[in-house]
């Protein structure tokens, strides 16, 4: 009966959820600048009659919904609110009105689904036990990550949740489906900033120079051995350089310095920091050996996202009850990263994927592209399932 009520409410809410999502999509804001987004979300919570606090990490919002016996269990639901610096393509009526800013990662969907779940939970609060904490989080797309700041401010205390649940849009999955993966699911992500210095001069007289471009080429090639020869072959690792720029230079000028930017990702926290030491020693040794110098700065980013096996199995079973087993799939690991990972190192976590694609309608663009969109029927699935998991989804409680 409770499941039927949740599904009915989610279905009836769909037109309102579409309107909310389109408003958020049309008015995107960059990380830690989500002031209007936060005001809008707060207004919706107020209209639902849900208590909340603002100002978390600047723009974050935390709401509380109490069911029967509110002390019996506490579970947290999280959605992120920020957008990306991408200029949206197309002419759909809800196209971004903030030129150069776009909800290209689906955070508008995440916030909408959490608002929908909050409405359902509030409406049915006499029919479930415990307390649900709603976390509308800023700054997922920008280091140090809003999650890390909210945790420092005490978002996982008073009350402390027994588990936390989040979801993320997934265009490869058709709308109506969701996917789970227990254990290490998403990679850590650290940023590498290198400045290789040498001695510039004329390109026709390299004997009078210390060529930082040649040194950089050696460093880039050698660092691939951190992955191929230092890492355990069964531990996924990726080292990629995405930007190389010299200070000045031309076809016939050797510059004084070269700047490189890259990312290192892995699925193992211990190996992650061991790899940092290898990266540092290799870069410095090669630069010195070739007569130059290398300054390396490693920005430690998001950790490995670990889905608690018990919590994830519980949520997956609940999803099969709610959506049918055919609509719940097992996902492979991903080398992308998410600041939800910070929560997973503090409380049992389940981060799953919400299908948003519709091949028949041509809705299949990947996230972080300027043509990204979703089949808005996913909002019914996302809001309803989140509410259902919150009612039933803490470990140690029977289905």
- Residue 74, both tokens: 């506490």
Catalytic-labelled residue, pool 29, 34, 80, 82: 82
Q: How far apart are CA 152 and CA 60, in angstroms?
A: 13
Task: For residues 207 and 108, give the distance between their C-alpha atoms in angstroms, rounded to a whole number.
Answer: 57
Q: Which residues pair with 294 in a beta bridge?
A: 196
Q: Measured between alpha carbons, how far is 379 from 119 in angstroms, rounded to an integer?
A: 13
Question: Would you state the structure tokens that stand for residue 301, as one six-digit string?
Answer: 């980013």
CA distance 206 to 292: 14
Q: How far apart are CA 342 and CA 75, in angstroms?
A: 16
**And the tokens for 309?**
């096996």
Specify which residues 169 forms β-bridges with: 354
Residues 111-128: b if buried by 16+ CB within 10 A, e if exposed: bbbbbbbbbbbbbbbeeb
Q: Where are the alpha helices (DSSP H) in 124-239?
A: 146-152, 212-225
| Active-site hit among 140, 190, 376, 380 | 140
> Which has the closest alpha carbon to 380: 204, 138, 150, 120?
120
Q: Is residue 276 helix, strand or coil?
A: helix
Whether cis (ω within 30° of 0) applies to the bond prior to 144 is yes
Catalytic, 140? Answer: yes
- The answer to whether the CB of 236 falls within 8 A of the CB of 262 is no
Q: Which residues belong to the active site?
A: 82, 140
């Amino acid at each position: 009966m409770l499941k039927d009520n949740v599904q009915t409410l989610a279905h009836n809410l769909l037109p309102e959820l579409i309107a909310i999502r389109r408003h958020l999509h049309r008015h995107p804001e960059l990380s830690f600048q989500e002031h209007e987004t936060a005001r809008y979300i707060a207004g919706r919570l107020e209209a639902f009659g849900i208590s909340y606090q603002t100002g978390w990490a600047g723009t974050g919002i935390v709401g509380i919904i109490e069911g029967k016996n509110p002390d019996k269990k506490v579970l947290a639901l999280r959605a992120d609110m920020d957008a990306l610096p991408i200029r949206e393509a197309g002419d759909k009526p809800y196209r971004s009105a903030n030129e150069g800013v776009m909800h290209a990662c689906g955070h508008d969907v995440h916030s909408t689904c959490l608002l929908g779940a909050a409405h359902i939970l509030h409406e049915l609060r006499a029919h479930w036990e415990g307390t649900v904490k709603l976390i509308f989080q800023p700054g997922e797309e920008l280091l140090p990550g809003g999650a890390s700041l909210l945790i420092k401010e005490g978002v996982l205390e008073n009350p402390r949740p027994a588990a936390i649940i989040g979801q993320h849009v997934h265009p490869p999955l058709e709308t109506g489906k969701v996917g789970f993966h227990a254990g290490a699911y998403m990679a850590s992500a650290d940023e590498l900033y290198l400045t290789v210095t040498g001695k510039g001069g004329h390109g026709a007289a390299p004997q009078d120079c210390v060529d930082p471009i040649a040194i950089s080429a050696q460093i880039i090639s050698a660092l691939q051995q951190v992955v191929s020869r230092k890492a355990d072959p069964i531990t996924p690792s990726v080292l990629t350089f995405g930007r190389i720029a010299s200070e000045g230079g031309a076809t016939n000028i050797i510059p004084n310095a070269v700047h490189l930017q890259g990312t290192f990702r892995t699925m193992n926290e211990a190996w992650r920091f061991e790899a940092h030491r290898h990266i540092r020693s290799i870069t410095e040794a090669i630069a010195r050996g070739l007569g130059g110098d290398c300054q390396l700065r490693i920005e430690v980013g998001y950790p490995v996202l670990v889905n608690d096996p018990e919590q994830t199995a519980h949520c997956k079973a609940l999803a099969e009850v709610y959506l049918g087993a055919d609509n719940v799939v097992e996902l492979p690991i991903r080398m992308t990263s998410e600041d939800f990972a910070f929560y997973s190192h503090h409380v049992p976590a389940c981060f799953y994927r919400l299908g948003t694609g519709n091949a028949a309608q041509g809705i299949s663009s990947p996230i972080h592209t300027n043509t990204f969109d979703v089949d808005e029927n996913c909002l019914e699935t996302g809001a309803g399932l989140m509410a259902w998991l919150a009612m039933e989804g803490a470990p140690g409680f029977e289905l």
